Amino acid sequence: MSDQIFASPSNKKISELYNRIKEESLIPQPDFQRKFVWNRKHKEEFIETILKGYPFPEIYIAQSGIDVEKIETQEFVVDGQQRLSTIVQYIEESDDSKEFGRLVKKYTALSEEEKKKFLNYNVVVRDLGDIESKSIIEIFRRINLTQYSLKQVEIHNAVYDGEFISTAKEIVNEIDQAIFPEFSETELSRMYDLHFVLLLLSTVENGGFFAGNKEIETYIIQYNDEYENSLKIKKSFLKTFDFIKKLDFSNDSIWNRKSNYFTLFTELYYSKNKKVNIIKEKLKNFEIEVIQNKTEDKEKNEYAKYYSYMYAGTNSRQARITRSNLFKKYVIN
């Protein structure tokens, strides 16, 4: 198998790859590949690369068995499905579609000579040969393997560049980093601040709490191409962060903990009638009660219950709801 894997790549014209995809002798998106996530800008920039005759990275394909009766083979795209899927979409796009036509001309608007040039473009393809499905998946993993394990937010940042995640980045860039909860230098270098804002954004869009981070990618994908609430949400987020900055709690305050800051932000975001001095005093009193009652029975003492959810299972849906309810009871109301 190794001789096939490291065989020299060959050139395949776009017209040949397109016809093979339509004939289903080449499958552009096997089950193990990630969801198609390019937005319109990505797609048009890629098509522009082809129209200008610039090269792009090679595509990996592999044969998965052979039908000895029909003497037919089927090949899968091991790496490059987004590029091939974009090419197919570009060629087949209807005149009334808006996927292309801003940065590049629609395929139907190309001259005959431009179409010939596009279809004759040589794609560099590396054929891995006839290998088992497990080996195909392992090769895909290794092709996309980074030097160290990426945190989920780094994967999101690398894979997606749409409207939702861009809104989160703008918020991060426009606020004073000093008013964030406690993040170490390492955490900041790994974009934990961006992840935190994405979590807050997703919670707002979800209209309620969820466990862990499981809905973040849902909203990144959903609002990848367009995020109509972007300006409104961004304005409200910056306003809430500014309000928190005015509270000016001490460095050792419990409100600097990520779990508590999450509760603090979400509840202040939704609260309409809030005054800095009143909220600051209530936060101080609530913190004192929580610390003083931390060893009490959490089933009988609400302050002790809040304290327990500051440290144990902080990202569970139950913990978030419990902290939220108690925060509203003792601070907002």
User: What's the pLDDT at 124?
Assistant: 93
Are the CB atoms for 238 and 171 separated by under 8 Å?
yes
Are the CB atoms for 204 and 217 separated by under 8 Å?
no
Which token pair is 103?
């940065």
User: What's the pLDDT at 148?
Assistant: 41
pLDDT over 90 percentage in the chain: 51
* Residue 75 or residue 199, greater confidence: 199
Q: Count Cβ atoms within 10 A of the Cβ of residue 105 and give its class: 0-12 exposed, 13-18 middle, 19 or more buried.
A: middle
**Residue 36 CA: distances (Å) to CA of 4, 133, 198, 224:** 28, 21, 20, 11
User: What's the pLDDT at 318?
Assistant: 94
What does the alpha-carbon distance between residue 137 and residue 21 come to, in Å, rounded to a whole number? 20
Q: Is the pLDDT of residue 15 over 90?
A: yes
What does the alpha-carbon distance between residue 29 and residue 80 come to, in Å, rounded to a whole number? 9
User: What's the pLDDT at 68?
Assistant: 46
In angstroms, how far is CA 45 from the centroid of its own chain? 20
What does the alpha-carbon distance between residue 189 and residue 236 come to, in Å, rounded to a whole number? 26
Q: Which residue has the tokens 């290998």?
A: 131
User: What's the pLDDT at 61?
Assistant: 87
Closest CA to 212 of 198, 199, 230: 199
What does the alpha-carbon distance between residue 89 and residue 75 come to, in Å, rounded to a whole number? 20
Are the CB atoms for 297 and 268 separated by under 8 Å?
no
What does the alpha-carbon distance between residue 246 and residue 53 come to, in Å, rounded to a whole number? 55
User: What's the pLDDT at 321?
Assistant: 96
- Residue 12 dihedral angles phi and psi, to the nearest 5°: -125, 130
Banded pLDDT at 177 (limits 50, 70, 90): confident
For the chain, give the number of residues.
333
> Average model confidence (pLDDT) for the chain?
84
User: What's the pLDDT at 157?
Assistant: 56
Q: Is the pLDDT of residue 3 over 50?
A: no
User: What's the pLDDT at 159?
Assistant: 54
Q: List pLDDT tens digits, range 152-172.
A: 555 555 555 688 989 999 999
User: What's the pLDDT at 70?
Assistant: 55
DSSP 147: S
* Residue 132 or residue 15, greater confidence: 15
Q: List pLDDT tens digits, range 263-283.
A: 999 999 999 878 999 999 999
Which residues have a Cβ under 8 Å from the Cβ of 70 and sit 6 or more positions away?
A: none
Helix ranges (H only) for 175-224 are 185-189, 192-206, 216-222
Point out which residues pair with 10 in neighbouring strands.
Answer: 125
What does the alpha-carbon distance between residue 68 and residue 150 come to, in Å, rounded to a whole number? 42
Q: List pLDDT tens digits, range 187-196.
A: 776 678 888 9
* Residue 305 or residue 135, greater confidence: 305
Point out which residues pair with 26 in neighbouring strands.
Answer: 75
Q: List pLDDT tens digits, range 89-126.
A: 999 998 778 889 888 999 999 999 999 999 999 999 98
Which token pair is 169?
């980045």
Which token pair is 129?
């040969």
pLDDT over 70 percentage in the chain: 81
Q: List pLDDT tens digits, range 31-75.
A: 445 445 577 888 899 999 999 999 988 888 887 655 545 555 678
Biggest alpha carbon distance in the chain?
81
User: What's the pLDDT at 94?
Assistant: 82
- Residue 79 dihedral angles phi and psi, to the nearest 5°: -150, 125
